[in-house]
Amino acid sequence: MELTLNILGAIATIVLAFIVGMSYGGIVRKITARIHNRMGPPWYQNFIDAFKLIGKTTAINHGIMQHFGPAFVMVSSIVSLMFIPILNNGGWFTNLNFDGDLIFLIYIMVFGPLGMALGAGQTGNPNSAIGVTRGLSQMVGFEIPWVMALVALMIQFDTTSVTGLMEAQHETGRWMMFTSPFAFIAAVLAMLGMFRYSPFDIVGAPTELASGPVSENGGKYLFTMMSSGSIFAFVKLTLYVDLFMGGADNLIILVLKTFALYMVPVLYGIVSPRYRTEQSIKFFWGWPTFFGFIAILYAVFV
């Protein structure tokens, strides 16, 4: 009985993440269009696109890894979703929490892009290869301030579990974006790269790289990439809300907080052109890493 409930909870979590992530994608397209002074597609456009992509034939074969690449991305998204507390009180959502799951999350969150890199490598498309190198270089860029911010939190509150950090916020009654502001700044700057909106959309770069790593993936593969990307966006936003904004007591507060946070990379992206790879890395190794250092010093000495 308990097993059935757990499985149902896991499915509910995935469905929630899928719906929220895809709707956010659609709303972002609408907001982008309004800023361009256009009508824009309806907010549910992403669902139509996804449904159409399932219905397309996919007669592309470049070898085994090409089929596994999108699956790796999906697995990475769902596994990291399972380790994120969706709500403060847990509810019926799955949370496979254990001590040290924050360190585990740092690893599992880069598993998807690495799997995708293997898959894209086998397609033999030069655009994919360039996209992968750019993506991995950029990841080296933004992972440093991101990990520094997390390490600062771990030192400051003496715990390596996400639930532990959430409990620490409840005890002090203050969000971590106020108790450890420098870590928050570093993490938000790293988030700009994590979401790959402009100016950090050097991986996809439709006009330059023909959409990069996914350029050989159409139909069902593209659907897998799209839906796992949406789930992963939800995962990252929820993790940020859990760590820095005190989590959420119910779904409405969760949606409000994640959406407010999501607007940071989106709105910054809409008004920005694209960086080159080295400019992007230079950006992340500049101020974000500096704030990461300050955050660690703050955590150790204050």
Tokens at 261, concatenated: 């946070």
Q: How far apart are CA 29 and CA 41, in angstroms?
A: 7
Q: Which is nearer to other proteins, 49 or 143 (CB)?
A: 49
Q: Which of 4, 55, 271, 301 binds other proteins (CB under 8 A)?
A: 55
Indicate whether 45 belongs to the interface with other proteins (CB under 8 A).
Answer: yes
b/e 262-273 (16+ beta carbons within 10 angstroms → b): bebbbeebbeee
Q: Is 29 in the site for other proteins (CB under 8 A)?
A: yes
* CA 190 – CA 188 distance, rounded (Å): 5
On whether the CB atoms of residues 85 and 163 are closer than 8 A, the answer is yes
Please tell me whether residue 57 binds other proteins under the rule CB under 8 A.
yes
Comparing CB distances to other proteins, the nearer of 123 and 289 is 123
Contact 113, 132 (CB under 8 A): no
CB closer to other proteins, 56 vs 174: 56
Q: Which residue from 137, 132, 165, 181 is spatially nearest to 246, judged by alpha carbons?
A: 165
Among 101, 201, 216, 242, binds other proteins (CB under 8 A): 216
- Nearest approach in angstroms of CB 211 to other proteins is 4
Instruction: Kindly state whether residue 33 participates in binding other proteins, applying the rule CB under 8 A.
Output: yes
Looking at residue 216, what DSSP letter applies? G
At how many degrees (to 10) do helices 2-35 and 251-270 cross?
Answer: 40
Alpha helices per DSSP H over 36-125 = 45-55, 64-82, 101-108, 111-123
User: Is position 56 an interface residue for other proteins (rule: CB under 8 A)?
Assistant: yes
- Beta carbon of residue 40, minimum distance to other proteins (angstroms, whole number): 6
Of 39, 252, 271, 302, which one interacts with other proteins (CB under 8 A)?
39
Q: Is 271 in the site for other proteins (CB under 8 A)?
A: no
By CB under 8 A, residue 214 contacts other proteins: yes
Per-residue DSSP letter, 275: P
Angstrom distance (rounded) from CA 240 to CA 222: 27
d(CA 124, CA 112): 19
Q: What's the closest the beta carbon of residue 300 comes to other proteins, in angstroms?
A: 47
13/23 with CB nearer other proteins: 23
**How far apart are CB 29 and other proteins at their closest, in Å?**
8
Give the shortest CB-221-to-other proteins separation in angstroms. Answer: 9
CB of 54 to other proteins, least distance (A): 9
Question: Which range touches other proteins (CB under 8 A), out of 5-13, 48-56, 183-191, 268-276?
Answer: 48-56
The torsion angles phi and psi of 82, rounded to 5 degrees, stand at -65, -20
Q: Quote the least distance from Cβ 45 to other proteins, whole Å.
A: 6
**Which positions from 183 through 212 interact with other proteins, judged by CB under 8 A?**
206-207, 209-211
Instruction: Report which of 268, 242, 7 is spatially closest to residue 102, judged by C-alpha positions.
Output: 242
